[in-house]
Amino acid sequence: MRPATPEHPRKVCVVVASRANYGRIKTVLQAIREHPALELQLVVSASALLSRFGSAIDVIRGDGFEPDRCIHIIVEGENPTTMAKSTGLAVMEMATAFENLRPDIALTVADRFETMATAIAASYMNIPVAHTQGGEVTGSIDESVRHAISKLSHVHFPATEESRERLIQLGEDPQQIFLTGCPAMDLLPPLCDEPLPPGLFQRYGGVGTEIDPSRPYLMVLQHPVTTEYGSGFRQIQETLLAIHQLDMQTLWFWPNVDAGSDDVSKGIRTFREQVRDSRIHFFINMAPDDYARALSHSACIVGNSSSALREAAFLGVPAVNIGTRQAGRERGPNVVDADYERSGILAAVHRQLKHGRYPRSLLFGDGQAGQRIAQALALCDPPLQKRITY
């Protein structure tokens, strides 16, 4: 690769494919845009473009980032077949975008099927791939996808020391591994001591009981588990009934686009139609900063989102992790695990509410990841022919 200089800036193409992707990479986009030796290219794709998943594209544009390309690749159905087809379509469309944009390096996030498609297209086109959050252990198919992306990638930005060591064990070049922390942590330090802005929850509409931010509230975010396809309806019913029985005001966020999403969404809609006295308010999405604000003031976060293990640990928010989606993942002391049965979920939430706040954990970063990643992107010189040791 040619050296990155202000006279010859390195073109970094960042692919954002979901609302979660954006929250995990926002500060990197800012740091790349501000770096004198880097030129930001932005591709927005998949569920980030769809209104039923919160139109993350509107949030992205509202933050001042105008995409160079918008790529629609989601095949309707939210089942294993359409998930595989969406991956294939994404490979084709990403190849076209890369051919037109001609980036010097492609940056992709975490473990989603869109991330896999980005890594496949770029690596076959001899474009070095940079990958965040590699080396982590998780449940479902996500772990296999994450490690496959790591093997296709040339530059790695793990969030933890354990993840860095695992990448080395996978045979990746230690000189191309930069321990940066997770960029999602970068959003948190300014928000930790801020009060909630007036009208925050009303700004995002949604359906259900109005939330009084001056009183304790829960947050729930539970996604389908791809390898447990067909069980999502029953699983979400158990969580809904547990939270309803708890009788505490709750912010509930819509699931992501993965296989099984329709079953989870159906469970939520059925509950809303059958239960009229619930204290739950359902949201589709929030901007990353506002989600972090809401999380920082919550009494407990429940479900299977990685934000319960990552951001909540930094904020000291108690978390109840349900099921297998985050199985084996590093976590701070703020997390209690529960199975899919309502009695276990209810007991775990009661335990966490009784405990209250935890000490802050810097396991996933100290809030400086975006700057570190941008600097590494400017200085790295990854060889396309990887030298992998076994």
What is the DSSP track for 169-216? HTT--GGGB-----GGGGGSGGGTTPPPPTTHHHHT--EESPP-TTS-
Cβ 140 vs Cβ 226: under 8 Å: yes
Output the pLDDT for position 387: 64
Tokens 């086109």 correspond to: 125
CA separation for the pair 258, 162 (Å, rounded): 27
Segment 200-224, tens digit of pLDDT: 999 999 999 999 999 999 999 999 9
Per-residue pLDDT band at 12 (split at 50, 70, 90): very high
**Statement: residue 390 has pLDDT above 60:** no
Determine contact, residues 230/261, Cβ cutoff 8 Å: no
| Whether domain 10-186+367-379 has CATH 3.40.190.10 | no
Query: Average pLDDT, stretch 23-30?
Result: 97
What was the pLDDT predicted at 108? 97
Length of the chain in terms of residues written: 390
Q: Tell me, what's the pLDDT at 147?
A: 96
pLDDT over threshold 90, residue 190: no
Window from 59-68, 113-122, 140-149, 310-319 with minimum mean pLDDT: 140-149
Strand bridging mode 207-208 / 280-283:
antiparallel
Q: What is the reported pLDDT for 16?
A: 97
Is the pTM higher than 0.85? The answer reads yes
Q: Which CATH number fits the domain 189-355, given the four candidates 3.50.50.60, 3.40.50.2000, 3.40.50.450, 3.40.50.11900?
A: 3.40.50.2000
**Fold matches, 10-186+367-379 and 189-355:** yes
pLDDT of residue 221: 97
With 60 as the cut, is the pLDDT of residue 5 above it?
yes
Quick one: pLDDT at residue 193?
77
CA geometry: angle 365, 56, 331, nearest 5 deg: 25
State pLDDT tens for residues 270-323: 999 999 889 999 999 999 999 999 999 999 999 999 999 999 999 999 999 999
Tokens encoding 106: 């492609």
**Domain residue limits, the chain:** 10-186+367-379, 189-355
Confidence of residue 23 (pLDDT cuts 50, 70, 90): very high
Distance, in Å, from the CA atom of 319 to the CA atom of 307, rounded to the nearest integer, reads: 9
pLDDT tens, 344-381? 999 999 999 999 999 999 999 999 999 999 999 999 99
Contact partners, residue 240, CB within 8 Å, separation at least 6: 267, 268, 271, 280
CA 35 vs. chain centroid, Å, equals: 24
